[in-house]
Amino acid sequence: MPRQKIIELQNVWKIYDMGDVKVEALRGLNLDVYKGEFLAIEGPSGSGKSTAMNMIGALDYPTKGKVKLAGQDINKLTESDLAQVRGKKIGFVFQQFNLISILSARENVALPMLFQQVETEDRKERAKELLTLVELGDRVDHRPTELSGGQQQRVAIARALANDPDVILADEPTGNLDSKTGKTVLKLLSELNKKEGKTIVMITHDAHLAKNADRVAFLKDGQIIKTQKR
C-alpha cells in the first residue's frame, strides 16, 4: 500500500523582487511529506530553509509551481480558506517560541483552538491535557517569563498540538536551548512521532539533530540536492 502524501511541493519557485534585483530563494523545489514520517530538512544558512518552511507550512504562496496541502492546491484557496485548512492540518514550533507574554501557559496553548471556534471549556480542558502530556501539568497558570527556555518550548509544542494537526513543523526547535534541554525537546518530538503517529518536519542546519529523523532532505541554493533514509 503506497504511503499517503500530506504535503507536496512540485517544482516550487519563490522569487523575491528587491527592486533592481530578483532573489531566487527557491529554485524548482520538489518534496513530498508522507504521513507518519519524521523528516528533517537540513541546510546551511542561506540555503532557502526559511522559505522552504513557509512553503511546507502553507504560510506563503509560491511564485511558480504547486504546493498541495491535504491534496488541495493552495494557489486555488483564498487566504481565509487556507488559514482554516492550515490551522487544522499543521502545528508550528518556532525557534523563538513565539509565546504571548501576558497569557498563561494554558491560554497560550488554547489560542489556536479559539480560531477554530472551539468552545471555551473545551479549550481549557484540552490545553490542560496537552500541558500534562508535555509534563507541564503543574505550570498551567505560569506565564512565559516564569518558565525556563525548555519549558517554554514544551508549551510551544503543546500549542502546536492544540487542533490535533497531522503535521508538526518545527523550525530549529532546539536553537535557543542548551544541549541537555535540546535533547529533551527532541525526545518529545520523537515520541510524538512514534507513539502519537504525528508527522514531524524539522528544519535544521545541524547535521547531528538531523540524524534523529527517518529521512533527511539536504537543501542547497533553493533545491533539494539529495535525500537519505536513516
Q: What is the Cα–Cα distance from 2 to 142, expressed in whole angstroms?
A: 45
How much is the pLDDT for 84?
87
How much is the pLDDT for 167?
95
How much is the pLDDT for 189?
94
How much is the pLDDT for 3?
86
Q: What is the pLDDT along the chain (230 residues), one digit of tens a residue?
A: 678 999 999 999 999 998 889 999 999 999 999 999 999 999 999 999 999 999 999 999 999 999 999 889 999 999 888 888 898 899 999 888 999 999 999 999 999 999 888 899 999 999 999 999 999 999 999 999 999 999 999 999 999 999 999 999 999 998 888 888 888 999 999 999 999 999 999 999 999 889 899 999 999 999 999 999 97
pTM of the model: 0.92
Instruction: Give me the CATH code for the 36-59+76-229 domain, please.
Output: 3.40.50.300
107 close to 85: Cβ distance less than 8 angstroms: no
How much is the pLDDT for 85?
87
- Nearest residue to 87 via CA among 118, 119, 42, 51: 118
